[in-house]
């Protein structure tokens, strides 16, 4: 059996690589001998890390050959049907779905977020494309509602959860040598993980200054030592460097690109996570680490609602006092927050595993 996967892979984004890791592991749990091919921006990297076949994402002759030999085409990971980042990428992913259907293949829209989409044309294209897909699973309720309102057949749409929630927290050795965690944790030092990025719609410099003040304040007031994670380089490297430039105190940064296991291992040992990057918050949820979300995109807000944890809408309420207030509340209720996250995780893992149950049901159904 062979499955071909398209998504935002091979670009050095830890969140998307974590999605691919969860997807590959989920498929192999069911069938250890399954053939998997991924369209990647860095095929050699993808192939070596995940031990799967990978081809260039714009090599259309190779793409056609791979789809022709596949039993299932998966459009999966992240939010691919959106034009906030790029209209070109939206049309790319849509075109692959139509190609797979023209080649008479089963297609699954796997655990994605949906939107935002601007304009009637892109919404029309999304509606007709989603209606030719055999199976659609979405990772949050907001995406489910948007797809149904768009006019997609609800019989094909299922609300699930992000597949990375099925990942197991690795042993600490995955990250401690890379980040010097033993030194950081000496004397039972508290750690606050911070995962930042630039913002397209609000002043990034204002954001960076406030995050620097937050990091200095939380260390001075509560003793939490700041540890910065880069989920995508060089984008996050630039943002984090600017935050460090505003800071008065010390901190640690993982300035090299890290694998999902390495970052998940370290986040699991943090005492608090302040995250803009969606999968920094997902990793915290997996590890029952108290968190505060900084929402720059509907997907972050949707996830924070899913785990019932506090967040700030950065486009509407970016100010230091509010961030401090949210953090104070989380710290004061840390034990209760951990218990809530442990309870939430049970249901979320089951919903994430539903992606794979539905996938295998589709594969075993008549063509």
Confidence of residue 78 (pLDDT cuts 50, 70, 90): confident
Average pLDDT of the chain is 92
Q: How far apart are CA 230 and CA 242, in angstroms?
A: 13
pLDDT of residue 200: 67
pLDDT tens for each residue of 212-242: 999 999 999 999 999 999 998 888 988 999 9
pLDDT of residue 233: 80
Residue 305: exposed, middle, or buried by beta-carbon count in 10 A (0-12, 13-18, 19+)? Answer: middle
Tokens standing for 19? Answer: 């999605």
pLDDT of residue 175: 55
pLDDT tens for each residue of 86-99: 789 999 999 999 99
Residue 34: exposed, middle, or buried by beta-carbon count in 10 A (0-12, 13-18, 19+)? Answer: middle
pLDDT of residue 185: 55
Confidence of residue 178 (pLDDT cuts 50, 70, 90): low
Confidence of residue 11 (pLDDT cuts 50, 70, 90): very high
Q: How far apart are CA 211 and CA 251, in angstroms?
A: 13
pLDDT of residue 315: 86
Q: How far apart are CA 304 and CA 284, in angstroms?
A: 11
Residue 340 or residue 266, greater confidence? 340
Residue whose structure tokens are 């990793």: 283
Q: Where are the alpha helices (DSSP H) in the chain?
A: 14-30, 43-50, 60-68, 87-102, 120-130, 141-150, 173-179, 181-184, 204-222, 235-246, 260-267, 278-286, 298-306, 320-332, 334-363
Tokens standing for 220? Answer: 């001075």
- DSSP-derived 3-state class of residue 344: helix
CATH code of the domain made up of 2-159: 3.40.50.2000
Tokens standing for 241? Answer: 């460097």
Residues 100-105 have a mean pLDDT of 98
Q: What are the residue ranges of CATH 3.40.50.2000 in the chain? A: 2-159, 173-346
DSSP per residue, 112-178:
E-B----SHHHHHHHHHHHTT-SEEEESSHHHHHHHHHHT--GGGEEE---GGGGPPPPPTHHHHHH
Residue 291, beta-bridge partner list: 273
Q: How far apart are CA 348 and CA 345, in angstroms?
A: 5
Tokens standing for 318? Answer: 């970016």
Please check the confidence at residue 186 and state whether its pLDDT lies above 60: no
Confidence of residue 201 (pLDDT cuts 50, 70, 90): low
Residue 357 or residue 268, greater confidence? 357
Please measure the distance between the N-terminal and C-terminal CA atoms of the chain and give it in whole angstroms: 14
Please check the confidence at residue 117 and state whether its pLDDT lies above 70: yes
Please check the confidence at residue 251 and state whether its pLDDT lies above 70: yes
Q: Which of 36-45, 259-268, 275-284, 301-310 has the lowest mean pLDDT?
A: 259-268
pLDDT of residue 13: 92
Q: How far apart are CA 292 and CA 66, in angstroms?
A: 42
C-alpha distance from residue 343 to each of 58, 64, 265, 272, 279 (Å)? 43, 44, 20, 18, 19
Please, what CATH class does the domain formed by 173-346 belong to?
alpha beta
Phi, psi of 82, rounded to the nearest 5 degrees: -155, 155
Residues 108, 270 contacting (CB under 8 angstroms): no
pLDDT of residue 180: 60
């Amino acid at each position: 059996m062979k499955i071909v996967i398209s998504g935002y892979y091979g670009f050095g984004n830890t969140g998307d690589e974590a999605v691919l890791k969860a997807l590959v592991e989920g498929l192999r749990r069911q069938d250890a001998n399954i053939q998997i091919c991924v369209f990647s921006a860095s095929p050699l990297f993808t192939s070596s890390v995940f031990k799967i076949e990978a081809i260039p994402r714009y090599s259309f002759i190779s793409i056609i050959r791979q789809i022709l030999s596949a039993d299932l085409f998966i459009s999966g990971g992240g939010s691919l049907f959106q034009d906030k980042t790029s209209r070109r990428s939206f049309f790319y992913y849509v075109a692959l779905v139509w190609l797979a259907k023209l080649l008479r293949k089963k297609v699954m829209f796997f655990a994605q977020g949906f939107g935002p989409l601007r304009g009637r044309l892109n919404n029309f294209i999304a509606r007709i494309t989603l209606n030719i897909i055999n199976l659609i699973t979405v990772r949050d309720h907001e995406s489910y509602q948007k797809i149904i309102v768009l006019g997609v057949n609800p019989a094909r749409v299922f609300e699930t959860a992000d597949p990375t929630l099925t990942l197991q927290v690795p042993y600490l050795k995955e990250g401690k040598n890379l980040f010097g965690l033993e030194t950081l944790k000496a004397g039972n030092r508290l750690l606050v993980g911070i995962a930042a990025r630039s913002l397209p719609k609000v002043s990034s410099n204002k954001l960076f200054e406030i995050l620097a003040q937050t990091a200095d304040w939380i260390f001075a007031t509560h003793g939490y030592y700041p540890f910065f994670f880069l989920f995508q380089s060089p984008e996050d490297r630039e943002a984090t460097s600017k935050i460090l430039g505003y800071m008065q105190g010390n901190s640690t940064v993982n300035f090299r690109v890290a694998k999902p296991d390495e970052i998940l291992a370290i986040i699991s040992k943090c005492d608090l996570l302040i995250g803009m990057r969606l999968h920094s918050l997902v990793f915290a949820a997996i590890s029952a680490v108290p968190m505060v979300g900084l929402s720059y995109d509907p997907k972050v807000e949707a996830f924070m609602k899913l785990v019932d944890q506090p967040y700030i809408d950065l486009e509407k309420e970016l100010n230091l006092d509010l961030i401090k207030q949210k953090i104070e509340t989380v710290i004061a209720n840390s034990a209760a927050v951990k218990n809530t996250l442990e309870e939430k995780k049970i249901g979320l893992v089951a919903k994430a595993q539903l992606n794979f149950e539905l996938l295998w049901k589709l594969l075993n159904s008549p063509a």
